[in-house]
């Protein structure tokens, strides 16, 4: 959600808690609302929310668990630590649909097949969640987000009366595959998401875990069954296309990561070739490679050991983004090098050799985008391991 609308929507969400005591009429509807992807990375997966409408009470509210504010105190520090606080905002549906109409993103509504009592339970649950003391929650992009909330709330209210059917879903996909299917492979977003995620993302997701993505909330609810008076019926009573915009296609920048990394790799390998021919060492190249990979490694090390991000641990990107490189970078600025540095280069080569093994056996799938960088690092490390003591 764009930060400039947060305060407005937050203020709109502050209704009297007495609304929780209202009794919905028999004409009330509870709906799952799914939005298509937007242009920002945090919009690339779409969005899900719950709508409650009662024409008798002239009530039309959206319950949106996707609210966050860049201006929160220590937002970026908390984000790095995994302490991401999102909020439930409740406001008039007209503001919700207006924002998607402005952004030209499609919007679909699935009206749930519920009894009057079940509708009331939804309303009471959401109204209680919307209270200021209850509205915040610890966000997790894979296990507790705006989409999983809808699944969990529905299971809480309907219990074993609802059955989500996985017959129409492609099975045995990992979290990484599910994520990568939603965004272009050759984008900075794909690179970043795969860079900071460890082996947790390579675990197979259950079909209910697929519902961290709004698309799978939509498809899973569409094929779900609910028991009413002990008789199985379709959970979705009616489906409405609220906004019929064409789905936005993610734009790949001309300065995409594969192009940039390939150019860097070609330049670095060419410089290494010239160094070999001239029996020299380009210190600026070594400093840049070691400092940048070491800096990235420090960030990944922090995320693994000092953050609560659920997917950050066991991240073998540290094999190429090796944190001690940030120190070695300064050592490589000197003319004369210690003998142990040759062993260090051989260790780095060993780490690079481990990566394809982990990749092939699918312990961790690495971003394809880093292949040019791995080639550059292998060539440079090998050259340094053979010549560094002499140069």
Residue with tokens 């995994």: 82
**pLDDT of the residue at 75:** 59
Q: What is the pLDDT of residues 120-174, one digit of tens each?
A: 999 999 999 999 999 999 999 999 999 999 999 999 999 999 999 877 788 889 9
Instruction: For the chain, give the mean pLDDT.
Output: 90
For 56-70, the pLDDT digits (tens) are 999 999 999 988 766
308 versus 315: the higher-pLDDT residue is 315
Q: What percent of the chain has pLDDT over 90?
A: 74
Residues 85-115: tens digit of each pLDDT: 899 999 999 999 999 999 999 999 999 999 9
How far apart CA 147 and CA 38 sit, in angstroms, is: 16
DSSP character string of 264-285 = HHHHHHHHHHHHHHHT---HHH
Looking at residue 391, its pLDDT comes to: 53
Distance CA 137, CA 15 (A): 19
Q: Are 85 and 138 in contact (CB under 8 A)?
A: yes
pLDDT tens-place string over residues 341-363: 999 999 999 999 999 999 999 99
Structure tokens at 117: 């009592």
* Beta carbons within 8 Å of 87's beta carbon, 6+ residues apart: 10, 65, 67, 68, 135, 136, 137
pLDDT of residue 389: 57
Question: Which residue is listed with tokens 């481990």?
Answer: 354
For the stretch 211-239, what's the b/e string if a residue is b when 16 or more beta carbons lie within 10 angstroms of its beta carbon?
A: bbbbbbbbbbbbbbebeeeeeeeebbeee
Above 70 in pLDDT, residue 3?
Answer: no
The predicted model gives 237-246 an average pLDDT of 95
The pLDDT value recorded for residue 171 is: 86
Collect all residues with Cβ–Cβ distance below 8 Å to 9 and sequence separation of at least 6.
1, 64, 67, 89, 91, 95
Reply yes or no on whether the pLDDT at 18 is more than 90.
no
Q: What is the pTM of this model?
A: 0.86
Distance CA 85, CA 70 (A): 11
Phi, psi (rounded to 5 degrees) for 51: -115, 135
Reference 154, options 121, 117, 191; nearest CA is 121
């Amino acid at each position: 959600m764009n930060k400039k609308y947060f305060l407005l929507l937050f203020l709109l969400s502050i209704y009297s808690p007495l609304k929780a005591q209202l009794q919905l009429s028999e004409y009330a509807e509870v709906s799952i609302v799914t939005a298509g992807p937007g242009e920002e990375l945090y919009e690339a997966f779409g969005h899900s929310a719950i709508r409650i409408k009662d024409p008798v009470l002239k009530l039309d509210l959206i319950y949106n668990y996707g609210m966050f504010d860049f201006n929160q105190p220590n937002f970026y520090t908390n984000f790095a630590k995994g302490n991401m606080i999102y909020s439930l905002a409740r406001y008039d549906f007209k503001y919700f649909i207006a924002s998607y109409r402005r952004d030209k993103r499609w919007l679909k509504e699935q009206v749930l097949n519920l009894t009057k009592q079940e509708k009331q339970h939804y309303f009471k649950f959401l109204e209680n969640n919307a209270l200021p003391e209850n509205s915040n929650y610890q966000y997790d992009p894979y296990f507790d987000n705006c989409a999983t909330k809808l699944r969990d709330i529905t299971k809480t209210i309907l219990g074993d009366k609802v059955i989500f059917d996985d017959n129409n879903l492609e099975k045995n996909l990992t979290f990484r595959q599910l994520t990568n299917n939603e965004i272009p492979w050759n984008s900075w977003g794909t690179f970043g998401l795969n860079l900071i995620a460890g082996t947790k993302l390579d675990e197979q997701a259950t079909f209910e875990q697929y519902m961290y993505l709004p698309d799978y909330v939509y498809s899973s609810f569409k094929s779900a069954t609910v028991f009413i008076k002990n008789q199985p019926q379709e959970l979705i009573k009616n489906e409405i296309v609220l906004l019929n915009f064409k789905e936005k296609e993610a734009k790949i920048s001309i300065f995409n990561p594969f192009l940039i990394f390939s150019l860097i790799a070609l330049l670095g390998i060419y410089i290494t070739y010239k160094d070999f021919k001239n029996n020299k060492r380009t210190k600026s190249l070594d400093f840049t490679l070691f400092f940048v990979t070491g800096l990235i490694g420090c960030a990944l090390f922090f995320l693994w050991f000092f953050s609560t991000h659920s997917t950050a641990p066991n991240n073998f990107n540290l094999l190429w983004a090796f944190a001690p490189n940030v120190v070695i970078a300064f050592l490589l600025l000197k003319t004369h090098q210690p003998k142990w540095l040759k062993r260090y280069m051989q260790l780095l080569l060993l780490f690079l050799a481990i990566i394809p093994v982990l990749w092939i056996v699918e312990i961790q799938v690495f971003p394809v985008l880093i292949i040019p960088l791995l080639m550059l690092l292998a060539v440079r490390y090998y050259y340094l391991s053979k010549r560094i003591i002499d140069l």
